[in-house]
Structure 1
């Protein structure tokens, strides 16, 4: 009589590690947005750098509030235990509209704000328009997919939308080493660094999407089902 061998134990990553990391990264745009709101509500001095916000505050306020809600609640959607509960669906009804309130005003500001050259570069407006449109479209595709009951497609497109929305946090860490080593970037480099922040997030998002699509790996003598049950 042979004794069945047990599959080797694997070390599971704490499920809150990813949401916590995403929230930490979200603090960068949230803190910056809070500072901007403070300027607008306390009557700070108007300069060439912030005049556009005082001239038309509604789009930037909507963008900041929408982005903050989208990033924080969106990060929690990556917690597996919450995805298995009703909370995920309820929060999703807030996350999706918040994402649109982040993306659509960003498009408006790109087109109509007089953006100083210090925070812009050649071609950057086009990149912002493409990615802002992609973010809004991704949220709409995800909404349509979940209405059809297509969870996989919904999850993939919401992940892409979140990656675009979170780029403001990643861009800080892209700019930091360059600025420390080479100083203030030229307009062309500024565009490249900004684009790199979005690219990094989208690459990571695609890796995560493909890992979820593959599902749990097969192990010797054991098949692990999607629900996590083991059938010998």
Structure 2
């Protein structure tokens, strides 16, 4: 195993492993819908109105996998990062938008009460906002701000992966969660992901370079960790 792999790929590999939970769940749900299943109380909302869940499935797979690869420094130095980003942003919008759509229109099971619906609306809206702000930042060539907002969006989008752990630990320690605990465990996963994202963002903030004039102040990076002076970041 080379030193380059050790320094660049643990984070993307770990995120891909974490994303296996929503990806596998998406494949299972997609296969169920493709088989034209008998309508039951558990799947009625998906079978009778499949469009939002199909958008959610496709968006989740693309956003989870391609988003994880965006964290690899070697890929950020290539055009691949830009081209993949053109799929990551719309797939993330599909995930958040369909999540909001399902929350507002589907009849949810009793374990998912109105409190959880409010949380889901806030999370979906927040993810959409992060994606929009990330897109606006990259159009301004403010790559540091772009990366921060995209990290936050990815953290929210990967909530299902962390929820497998919060529910798993709770079930082992306490047993099946009730309605209140169910909502809190879902919320805890999103908060954990956001806390980790904020920690990474704080670590990667560019330091101002001594001796630069005001016009040369550091505002971002070139997508590969190299600082970009304000005069360069404002071009284009």
Question: Do both share a fold (TM > 0.5)?
Answer: yes
Alpha-carbon separation, structure 2, partners of 1:98 and 1:32: 17
Q: Does 1:149 align with 2:141?
A: yes
Cα displacement (A) at 1:45: 2.5
SS at match of 2:7: coil
Q: Aligned residue for 2:180? A: 188
Alpha-carbon separation, structure 2, partners of 1:12 and 1:161: 26
Q: Is contact 1:30-1:68 (8 Å) kept?
A: yes
Cα displacement (A) at 1:67: 1.1
- Note the residue ranges of structure 1 that are not aligned, 5 or more in a row: 1-9, 216-225
Q: Is contact 2:166-2:185 (8 Å) kept?
A: yes
Q: Aligned residue for 1:63? A: 56
Q: Does 1:16 align with 2:4?
A: no
Cα displacement (A) at 1:106: 0.5
Alpha-carbon separation, structure 2, partners of 1:59 and 1:19: 28
SS at match of 2:205: helix
* Cα deviation code 1:152-211 (max 9, x no counterpart): 110000000000000000001000011112211010000110000000000000000000
Q: Does 1:125 align with 2:117?
A: yes
Q: Does 1:53 align with 2:39?
A: no
Runs of 4+ in 1 over 2 A off after TM superposition: 10-14
Cα displacement (A) at 1:100: 0.3
Q: Aligned residue for 1:100? A: 93
Question: What is the number of residues matched between the two proteins?
Answer: 209
Alpha-carbon separation, structure 2, partners of 1:55 and 1:150: 44
Q: Does 1:210 align with 2:198?
A: no
1:78 pairs with one of 71, 74, 96 = 71
Cα displacement (A) at 1:11: 11
Alpha-carbon separation, structure 2, partners of 1:60 and 1:138: 22
Q: Aligned residue for 2:163? A: 171
Stretch deviating more after TM superposition (93-102 or 42-51):
42-51
Query: TM-score normalized by structure 2?
Result: 0.85
SS at match of 1:195: helix
Q: Is contact 1:28-1:168 (8 Å) kept?
A: yes
* Cα deviation code 1:13-48 (max 9, x no counterpart): 431111011011111011111111111110222211
Query: TM-score normalized by structure 1?
Result: 0.86
Alpha-carbon separation, structure 2, partners of 1:114 and 1:59: 13
SS at match of 1:26: helix
Q: Is contact 1:159-1:205 (8 Å) kept?
A: yes
